[in-house]
Structure 1
Amino acid sequence: MPRLPTPPNAAPAPALDGAQGAGELSTAQCYPALLARDARFDGLWFVGVSSTGIYCRPVCRVKTPRRENCRFFASAAQAESAGYRPCLRCRPETAPGAQLRWSVTDASRTLARQAAALMAEDPRQSVTALAARLGISSRHLQRIFEAEHGVPPLAYLHTRRLLLAKQLLMDSPLGMAEVAAAAGFGSQRRFNALFQQHYRLQPGSLRKAGEPPPSVTACGEPGLRLAYRPPLAVDALLGFLAARAVPGVEHVDAHERLISRSLRLPHQGRTLAGRLVIRFQPERDTVLLSPCSSLWAAAGSLIPLVRRWLDLDAAPDAIHQHLAGLPSLEPGLRLPGCLDRFELAVRAVLGQQVTVAAARTLASRFVERFGEDLPPGHQTPEVRRLFPLPERIAGASIESIAELGIIRNRAQALITLAQRWPTLAYARLQDGHLAGGQDLALSELQDLPGIGPWTAQYMLMRGWSAPDLFPPGDVVLRQQLTEPGQAAPTPRALAERAQGFSPYRSYAVLQLWHHAAQRTPATAASRKT
């Protein structure tokens, strides 16, 4: 039977109600949150309205349906399997997802949730390929997936594809055939048939019913709306990224609450290159994602990548409950991820034992020397370069890197990292929550010259969005957790105290770094992150 994570300090956990249909959640527990339009439950469950045949997010602004007309489901796939169609007002396809944590005590459930997460990241893959990727048989995946999510994996995958297609129809400039391909359908005919079967609408009529595209654009294109659970500390997130923005590759405009950056994106055996623009709309708990025309075909991969980069699927209330022992808390502080793991790894090495500003300068020189120009038509004065590829650095000489002001040992570390990149678990595994993946990645990274425990953990914190790491030997963390008038804790004592913040130690790290920066900006500028 499906189980559901629930924010703390809110309504009781929506439990299964034996009087309702299989896979449904308790009306008694979910309906009060629906009445309150509680955004903390957004994406954690959906409500089907029997009088209209529509299913909605808990935050939908339409008139609240009568209690007896409501059925509650743990996923959009369950709602659609029960015959409901997605709401055109609240747009279930834009809802935040659920965070995933690996648990060795409940491996089957975690594998089932891992499968759902991978479907969201790439809806084009087949169920057979997904099972092989997880190292289990298709039959076992079928069994554990249906036990956890209440629907077969193929039905869940069809829902992911249809919801992505719905979002592209309403927000993108893609033609029908391009929408079908981007959403993972083998043909436009198959897409049309499934869309009409599930939603009782022709795809073309849905596009006509859509709202005008958002005004924020990159390269003249409209944008996709991505929702998040509030609060989100937008200014703190933009400040973190702005301090580390590499000139030519990325630009942050805190006043406009906008991020623009270049990107390479693998897609169907080739690599797409372009630029994207992100604008935060905190008044709507929404982020607008506007890709260049060259990136639209890979929208199915781009959306989950951006969600992870900006940590849009975080559950702030659940996280803050575990961080109550910190000196202070910034509501909605997120864990910034990355769009390119190689880029993040290189920048982590460049930032060792230097200030954030110095690391940014070194990264800018590195990009100018080894990077490439964005394709014509996609450049702006602020964003015009692509970060260097691993193969470009693998063939570089130590002298060509060292003359940029990078010490020779660090230059050698960058070359070795690039040469080993294709075989590293850190690069190969698509998600850090795969069983044993985190330990393997940490071990392999620390075996490389010039990469110690702190740098390896930082790479996983941001490269994999690993939520439960606490980099050892961090001076700022030790200072922030030293009681007034007391001696600084030993490394062992610090690690023991950090256990109290588990399973969200990475968020504790960000909170402590942020608190230090607010109190002593000059000192915080020496952070090597």
Structure 2
Amino acid sequence: MADNKDALYLAFKAKDARFDGRFFVGISSTGIYCRPVCRAKQPKAENCNFYATAAEAEQAGYRPCLLCRPELAPGTSITDATANLVYRAARMLEKNCGSGQSLEETAKRLGCTGRHLRRVFTAEYHVSPIQYLQTCRLLLAKNLLTDTDLAVLEVAMASGFGSLRRFNDLFKKQYKLSPTALRKEMKEEKIHNGSITLALGYRPPYPWEEMLRFLAGRAIKGVELVKNGAYRRTVCLKNSEGKHLYGWVKVDHNPKKNVLNVTVSEALLSVLPQVLARIKHLFDLYCDPDEIHETLQIMNHIRPGLWVLGTRVPGCFNAFEMAVRAVLGQQITVKAASTLAARLSEHYGRPIETGMDGLTYTFPLPEEVFALGENLQNYFGPLGIIASRSNTIYELAKAFVQEEIDFDYPASPEEEMKKLLSIKGIGSWTAQYIAMRAMEWPDAFLETDAGVKKALQPYTPKELLKMAEAWRPWRSYATMSLWNTL
């Protein structure tokens, strides 16, 4: 950052949205740090210091700007960190900031020691993992205080602070004002209706209509609903005590502010960081479209319009749900697979009251499917699911329950795909598709897919695979762009 101050200041001066979330600006004359897109009066260059993360800016003594709101900045994509381990650690800290998970537990899940994680994390981000986690909690709390009417105690608990006193002390120390004083400064009255709404930022352009069209075509009746320009779904998540919580989420688009509005039922408040992390994954909010465009624009040399700047890869909210649906969709139409998944949810999911027409069930949990036993065909057969698919779904449920496959920020998606391929009934297409959508693998390529072959006629799968070598490491995005051309 110190070596590029002139270039970073020019990006800050231009309010260039491409750099949003890539760095933060600490302004020494005010003691405030901002996003590169902040519309406040431009400070002098000599008063600006630049930081890679919000946590680094806060550790340098700056407090977040109330105008541009650093908590709304989009995160970094998987190739932004020089160490993949550090990237995965940061994502896990964000997702679990409300769970009380220790650093040693995080390190164990990442396959390293706590000491090693602290060393590489500090070298990459210039703050310790604990300092990064503290900033995640503080910024989530600031978001809740600004955009909801939750009591300060509820904000403290939802953000992962163990006590109200600890939250108040740390908030005052870091931001130089109390949580209640911050809320008074915002002055806007909030309407309480049993839910909360927060904003999540992205880097434009964002193809909202294409994303909704993809999700609508694969929506599971009773579990998901795309209607009136918004995505809705039922949710079942475990809290830090292992208890299952049931609720719903709604996501819509605010293009003027480059954010998605996420409305969450209050029943999910104690697992809010999990919900937000899953929404970011589902809607690919960490994506850096310009970086991907640099590689994939060559697709337009084959035929104009094959690649579109801003293309996103839809992730998933529930990895087991998505994997099961991928298995159900083998060799049948997308619509037929959705019908089978809906029957599965109606018979083996849990009924839920959401107050919304069309959202009536949660998708069955892997432990619930696994508990039905190896003779799953006896249960799934009457729903129209053939025996081979039932057996594959049972093995998938077993893999989830026994944690044999890592679907959550795996260190090596290729290794996890090999494990998927060892399950009878899962071939290359299914393994690549699951890795692309569940594991956030940006380099999956489905050369045998009917849509990919149709978009690139008359090339053979072998020719397509050779052609796609030039699209690494973004072949998942190339696949999505090809599907979108159909």
TM-score by length of 1: 0.85
**What is the aligned partner in structure 1 of residue 480 from structure 2?**
510
Task: Choose from 69, 74, 77 the match for 2:52.
Answer: 74
Pick from 337, 360, 378 the counterpart of residue 315 of structure 2: 337
Distance (Å, rounded) in 2 between the aligned partners of 1:61 and 1:390: 47
Deviation at 1:44, TM superposition (A): 0.5
Matched to 2:226, the amino acid is V
How far off its partner does 1:59 sit? 1.0
**Deviation of residue 91 (structure 1)?**
0.9
* TM-superposed deviation, 1:512: 0.6
1:194 aligns with 2:195: no
Give the equivalent residue in structure 2 for 1:96.
74
Of the structure 1 ranges 415-424 and 327-336, higher mean CA displacement relative to structure 2 is found in: 415-424
Alignment-mate amino acid for residue 188 of structure 2: P
User: Are the equivalent residues in 2 in contact too, given 1:214–1:223 (CA < 8 A)?
Assistant: no
- The separation in 2 between residues aligned to 1:364 and 1:100, in whole angstroms, is 33
Give the corresponding residue for 2:26: 48
In the other structure, the counterpart of 2:239 is 267
Q: Whole-Å Cα distance in 1 between the matches of residues 423 and 103 of structure 2?
A: 36
CA, structure 1 residues 367+294, in 2 after alignment: closer, same or farther (shift >3 Å)? same
> What residue ranges of structure 1 are gaps of 5+ in the alignment?
1-14, 18-25, 517-529
1:348 aligns to 2:334 (yes or no) = no
Corresponding position of 2:179: 203
Alignment-derived partner of residue 446 in structure 2 = 471
Q: Is the 8 A contact 1:225 1:286 kept in 2?
A: yes
Q: Is the 1:258–1:279 contact (alpha carbons within 8 Å) kept by the matching residues of 2?
A: yes
2:401 is aligned to 422
Spell out the pairing of 1:481-500 with structure 2 (5 A cutoff).
Answer: 481-482=456-457, 488-489=459-460, 491-500=461-470
What is the identity, as a one-letter code, of the residue corresponding to 1:165? Answer: A
Partner of 1:413: 392
Q: Please state how far the C-alpha of 1:425 moved relative to its aligned partner.
A: 4.0
Q: How does 1:142-221 map to 2 (within 5 A)?
A: 142-210=118-186, 212=188, 220-221=194-195
Q: Is the Cα contact below 8 Å between 1:248 and 1:382 reproduced in 2?
A: yes
What per-residue deviation string (whole Å, max 9, x for no partner) do you get for residues 367-422 of structure 1? 11211111x4x232121111112233231641331222222222222233223431
Change (3 A) 1:190 1:349: same
Q: Distance in 1 between matches of 2:393 and 2:469?
A: 32
Q: Secondary structure at the match of 1:283?
A: coil
Contact 2:367–2:401 (Cα < 8 Å) also in 1: no
Cα distance between partner residues in 2 of 1:464 and 1:379: 32
TM-score (norm 2): 0.93
- 1-side partners of 2:210 and 2:154: how far apart? 37
In structure 2, the residue matched to 1:23 is none
1:125-172 C-alpha deviation (Å, 9 max, x unpaired) = 333333333333333222222211112222222212211111122223
Q: How has the CA–CA distance of structure 1 residues 475 and 285 changed in structure 2, closer, same or farther, with 3 Å as cutoff?
A: same
Give the Cα separation in 2 of the matches to 1:505 and 1:157.
32
2:339 is paired with a residue of what secondary structure? helix
* Matched-pair contact (CA < 8 Å) for 2:224–2:232: yes
Alignment deviations for residues 407-441 of structure 1 (CA, whole Å, 9 cap, x no partner) = 22222222332234312443x45213x1x3x1332
- 3-state SS of the aligned residue for 1:503? coil
Question: What is the alpha-carbon distance in structure 1 between the residues aligned to residue 467 and residue 102 of structure 2?
Answer: 44
Equivalent of residue 322 in structure 1, options 295, 305, 311:
295
SS in 2 for 1:71: strand
1:459 partner letter: I
Give the unaligned 5+ runs of structure 2.
none
Q: Structure 2 matches for 1:17-36, cutoff 5 A?
A: 17=3, 26-36=4-14
Query: Residue 148 of structure 2 contacts residue 190 of structure 2 at CA under 8 Å; is this kept in 1?
Result: no
CA shift, 1:213, in A, is 6.7
Q: Does 2:362 correspond to 1:391?
A: no
Going from structure 1 to structure 2, the CA distance change for 1:418 and 1:196 (only over 3 Å counts) comes to same
Match of 1:456 in 2: 431
Q: In the aligned structure 2, how far is the partner of 1:153 from the partner of 1:360?
A: 41
Give percent identity, aligned residues only.
41
Q: Residues 11-22 of structure 1: matches in 2 within 5 Å? A: 15-17=1-3
Distance (whole Å) between structure 1 residues aligned to residue 368 and residue 282 of structure 2:
25
User: 1:93–1:445: structure 2 CA closer, same or farther, 3 Å change rule?
Assistant: same
Measure the CA separation in 1 of the matches of 2:253 and 2:432.
Answer: 29
Q: How many residues align?
A: 475
Matched position secondary structure for 2:36: coil
Compared CA separation, residues 474 and 214, structure 1 to 2 (3 A): farther
**2:17 equivalent to 1:39:** yes
What secondary structure is seen at the aligned counterpart in 1 of 2:471? Answer: coil
Alpha-carbon distance between aligned partners in 1 of 2:186 and 2:274, rounded to the nearest angstrom: 23
Greater CA drift, 116-125 or 226-235: 116-125
Partner of 1:21: none
Residues 145 and 152 in structure 1, CA contact (< 8 A), matched pair in contact too = yes
After superposition, give the CA deviation of every residue in 1:245-298 in whole Å (9 maximum; x if it has no partner).
111111112xx3211110111211212110111111112111111101101221
User: Residue type matched to 2:6 in 1?
Assistant: A
